[in-house]
Chains A and B, each alone.
Chain A
Amino acid sequence: MSPADRPVARAVPGAAMPGTAAAGPDAAAPAPAVGPDTVPRLWRVARVGFDEVRQRPVLLYPEGAVLLNETGAAILRLVDGRRTVREIAERLAGEYHAPDDAARAEILRDVTAYLAGLVARELVHDR
């Protein structure tokens, strides 16, 4: 299994249908930009759980699930609809004992990119 997050049960769009060609949120139109001042919040109907079978944290939502790695789960635990992306990155930099500004900048880039991916899939909202 890939260490990276991967969707395991994509939107089975048209759950009442045999196999589907989806133009769903993943294939969707351009997503809004996510920056350091964006205040992300988890989609109202999504939640982070833990899959005892795969021993992995998992983001669960209607008709879908995304297996998370530890970093992804750590980011999502800090997404509360109040913290900005920068504040989330700073918290993580503290937790991971980032040694210098370069390391902190890299964490900010990674957190921004990670959340931008989830915003594009409409699992995290930016407003």
Chain B
Amino acid sequence: MTADRPTTLLAELTHRCPLHCPYCSNPLELTRAAQELPTDDWKRVLTQARRLGVLQLGLSGGEPMVRKDLEELAAHAHAEGLYTTLVTSGLGFTRPRAERLREAGLEHVQVSLQDADDDNAERIAGVRSVRQKRAAAALATELGFAFTVNVVLHRANLDRIEAIIALAGEMGADRLELANTQFYGWGLVNRDALMPTREQVDRAFEAAERAKQRWRGRMQIVFVLPDYYERYPKPCYGGWGKLYIVVHPDGTAAPCHAAVQITDLTMPNVKDHDLAWIWQESPGFNAFRGDAWMREPCAGCERKCADFGGCRCQAFALTGDARNADPVCSLSPAHGLIEEALRQADGSRPFTYRVLAGEPQSA
């Protein structure tokens, strides 16, 4: 099957991170520093990505600022013509490094916030971080980066959405991403603690809609709905292997973050293969292209070209088979799993914080 050209590469440079957020999108099995790809391998991947058609690069992690070669990678990406985003917690985004990144051609900085309430923000992050995040946000605007604030929403911060929007506005954000938690990996482990109520989601959605009008032309606001409350599933990044490539710290390439969690699929590694082969030929990237893999109710569904059966990773995580319909879909025979999860979640469970074995703990 012919692959479209990819547009976006997310380079997860490291899993090391000073934060311990319980919804982290990294896999439960985190990669140690010694297994991270070296600088030259990353540069090769960036060059191959641009040749393949990638326009947008995310330098992410973990916390990408822990990589000492970040400036070198940003400069290489810029020379290749990539539009580059730094996805950071803000910790380590110090003035000298921020200035060097600006000189290197980095265009866009995304800083995560956990909450508008400082104490709760640090409880969620599992570490003292608010002061450094505010300093990072101020630097990002002062140095003229395009600046996004990203907030993962869940039961413990949704009720402060107005204050969160106001804070992002005060910080001078060009964009605000309000993304409800998705339940993979660490998020799935913490599902009972993070799952919002329907009332919280509805109120937040309305607040975000009002804010979009109020901030139009000054701050673009994106609100990502929580799929457990949706009638139909989300269209996995426009379809499996359609636009998006994630490269993990050890060089494993996949069509999204969570795909490495589908344990009966083998994902290729950039140490062994050119990115063009990975994109066009690898069994992993071809596994769910098109619709030949679909079962009922997806195979005969008129929505199959709109949402592609939903998320393969969620189907695998919840039903044990990635070919099944995403159980978030109200037409899925396994949709009861979602209803049950919503009934059970009451927020009474404590967070299981994301921890990289052997890393120093502070909270």
Roughly how many angstroms separate A29 CA and B107 CA in the complex, as a whole number?
A: 28
Roughly how many angstroms separate A17 CA and B185 CA in the complex, as a whole number?
A: 11
Q: Which of B87, B216, B230 contacts A15 (CB 8 A)?
A: B87
B171 proximal to A (CB < 8 A): no
Decide yes or no: A51 and B55 within 8 Å by CB, A19-B311, A62-B108 being known contacts. Answer: yes
The smallest beta-carbon distance between A55 and chain B, in angstroms, is 11
Stretch of A3-11, A72-80, A97-105, A106-114 contacting B (4+ beta carbons < 8 Å): A3-11
Cβ contacts under 8 Å, B50 to chain A: 53
Q: Which B residues are closer than 8 A to A by beta carbons? A: 5, 7-8, 10, 25, 50-53, 55-56, 58, 60, 81, 83, 85, 87, 107-108, 110, 112, 146, 148, 150, 152, 174-175, 177, 179, 182, 184, 205, 208-209, 212-213, 216-217, 220-225, 227, 230, 233-238, 243-244, 256-259, 311, 313
A62 and B223 form a contact (CB under 8 A): no
B212 and A44 form a contact (CB under 8 A): no
Roughly how many angstroms separate A53 CA and B6 CA in the complex, as a whole number?
A: 11
Decide yes or no: A29 and B209 within 8 Å by CB, A16-B25, A21-B230 being known contacts. Answer: yes
The smallest beta-carbon distance between A12 and chain B, in angstroms, is 6
Interface residues in A28-72 by Cβ distance below 8 A to B read 28-29, 32, 43-45, 49, 51-54, 58, 60-65
A15 and B110 form a contact (CB under 8 A): yes
The smallest beta-carbon distance between B261 and chain A, in angstroms, is 9
The smallest beta-carbon distance between A34 and chain B, in angstroms, is 13
Cβ contacts under 8 Å, B233 to chain A: 21
The smallest beta-carbon distance between B55 and chain A, in angstroms, is 5
Q: Can you list 17 A-B contacts (CB < 8 A)?
A: A9-B243, A14-B150, A15-B85, A15-B110, A16-B25, A17-B257, A18-B259, A19-B234, A23-B223, A24-B224, A44-B174, A53-B5, A53-B51, A60-B55, A62-B108, A62-B148, A125-B217
Closest to B310 in A: A19
Decide yes or no: A63 and B237 within 8 Å by CB, A17-B224, A22-B222 being known contacts. Answer: no
Cβ contacts under 8 Å, A61 to chain B: 83, 146
A12 and B237 form a contact (CB under 8 A): yes
A14 and B174 form a contact (CB under 8 A): no
A63 and B56 form a contact (CB under 8 A): yes
A122 proximal to B (CB < 8 A): yes
Q: What 12 additional pairs, Cβ within 8 angstroms, besides A9-B7, A16-B257, A19-B235?
A: A9-B55, A10-B238, A15-B177, A19-B236, A21-B225, A23-B223, A25-B212, A29-B212, A61-B146, A63-B85, A64-B56, A65-B83
Q: Which of B110, B179, B209, B220 contacts A17 (CB 8 A)?
A: B179
B224 and A62 form a contact (CB under 8 A): no
Roughly how many angstroms separate A65 CA and B143 CA in the complex, as a whole number?
A: 23
Cβ contacts under 8 Å, A53 to chain B: 5, 50-53
Q: Which A residues are closer than 8 A to B by beta carbons? A: 8-25, 28-29, 32, 43-45, 49, 51-54, 58, 60-65, 122, 125-127
The smallest beta-carbon distance between A20 and chain B, in angstroms, is 5
Q: Which of A16, A45, A125 contacts B146 (CB 8 A)?
A: A45
Cβ contacts under 8 Å, B209 to chain A: 29
Q: Which of A16, A29, A43, A65 contacts B87 (CB 8 A)?
A: A16
Roughly how many angstroms separate A126 CA and B218 CA in the complex, as a whole number?
A: 11
Cβ contacts under 8 Å, B208 to chain A: 23
Q: Which of A54, A62, A63 contacts B5 (CB 8 A)?
A: A54
The smallest beta-carbon distance between B217 and chain A, in angstroms, is 5
Decide yes or no: A19 and B237 within 8 Å by CB, A53-B50, A65-B55 being known contacts. Answer: yes
Closest to B230 in A: A21
